[in-house]
Each structure stands twice: as structure tokens, then as C-alpha cells.
């Protein structure tokens, strides 16, 4: 406005930007709109959002699938290598493949969910990349060991 009078405050409620978005809020489940921080100083050190993009969902799904594949290969190796015997291996064998994979899925999903809630924090971004690299290396090693021991 180009009037010469004093500026009149027309907002009816307090400025919501004075408090950062909480880690979990009702807006994260119903009707939230915040996908990223608008100001550069809001992005310093990390921030929470209400909505997560497609890229975050794809990374979340990749981490879950890699963890489940890792669990399946680990169970296969423990079941196939009968000369390995200790209490932990015996419990896993008695548990069965479906139960073991379900437990791996639940634990991996909860950990991945915690990472993705914090996806806009620098340490969480490093952790997401590290988890993916670690899982790829672990699965590759398991596949090599399975192929090597089956060839013998």
C-alpha cells in the first residue's frame, strides 16, 4: 500500500514461523503443506517438514527392500551353513524364515522411518547414504559367499 498512515497489523493470530515445525504434528498426517524451509536461515542445521516428496519415499522404499533382502540372504546363509552352531543361530533357525524376515522388516522400517523424519538434517542425510552403501556392500558380500560356497 502506498498510504501515508501507519501500518495496521491485520493478522488475526500469532506468526506461526516463530516456532519451527515440530518433528511430529497433526499436519504431518492431515493437511500439512510444508515441504521445505523457505528461508536460508531456516535451513541451517536442519528442519522438519509436514510433507515428504516422492524422492524421499523412493529412498525409504529402497532402504526397506535392501534390509529385507539382507535379512533373507542372512537367513539363507545361516540355514545353509549347518556347521555354524551357536545359541543365536539356533534361535533364528527355530524361528523360521517368515518370522525372521518379518522381524527384520519391522526393525528396518522403524529405523528408516526415524531417519526419514529427520531427512533435512545433515547427519541424517549422511546416515541415509551410509545405510544404502552399507546394505549394498553387505548384500554383495553375502551373494559372493553364497555363490562361492555353492561352487565348492
Of 29-33, 59-63, 84-88, 119-123, where does mean pLDDT reach its minimum?
A: 29-33
Of 17-31, 73-87, 123-137, 138-152, where does mean pLDDT reach its minimum?
A: 17-31
* pLDDT tens digits for range 59-79: 999 999 999 999 999 999 888
Q: Please report, for the chain, the start and end positions of each structural domain, with discontinuous segments joined by +.
A: 19-51, 54-151
Question: According to the model, what pLDDT value does residue 78 have?
Answer: 83
Task: Answer whether residue 134 shows pLDDT above 90.
Answer: yes
Highest mean pLDDT among 5-9, 41-45, 60-64, 91-95: 60-64
For the chain, the three-class secondary structure string (H helix, E strand, C coil) is: CCCCCCCCCCCCCCCHHHCCCCCCCHHHHCCCCCCCCCCHHHHCCCCCCCCCCHHHHHHHHHHHHHHHHHHHHHHHHHHHCCCCCCHHHHHHHHHCHHHHHHHHHHHHHHHHHHHHHCCCCHHHHHHHHHHHHHHHHHHHHHHHHHHHHHHC
Q: Which position has the higher pLDDT, 11 or 102? A: 102
Amino acid at each position: 500500500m502506498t498510504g501515508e498512515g501507519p501500518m495496521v497489523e491485520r493478522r488475526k493470530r500469532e506468526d506461526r514461523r516463530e516456532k519451527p515445525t515440530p518433528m511430529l504434528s497433526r499436519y504431518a498426517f492431515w493437511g500439512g503443506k510444508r515441504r521445505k524451509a523457505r528461508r536460508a536461515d531456516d535451513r541451517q542445521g536442519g528442519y522438519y517438514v509436514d510433507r515428504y516428496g516422492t524422492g524421499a519415499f523412493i529412498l525409504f522404499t529402497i532402504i526397506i527392500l535392501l534390509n529385507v533382502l539382507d535379512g533373507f540372504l542372512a537367513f539363507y546363509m545361516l540355514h545353509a551353513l549347518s556347521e555354524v552352531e551357536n545359541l543365536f543361530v539356533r534361535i533364528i533357525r527355530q524361528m523360521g524364515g517368515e518370522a525372521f524376515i518379518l522381524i527384520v522388516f519391522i526393525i528396518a522400517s522403524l529405523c528408516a522411518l526415524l531417519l526419514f523424519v529427520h531427512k533435512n538434517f545433515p547427519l541424517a542425510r549422511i546416515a541415509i547414504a551410509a545405510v544404502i552403501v552399507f546394505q549394498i556392500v553387505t548384500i554383495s558380500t553375502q551373494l559372493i559367499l553364497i555363490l562361492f560356497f555353492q561352487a565348492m
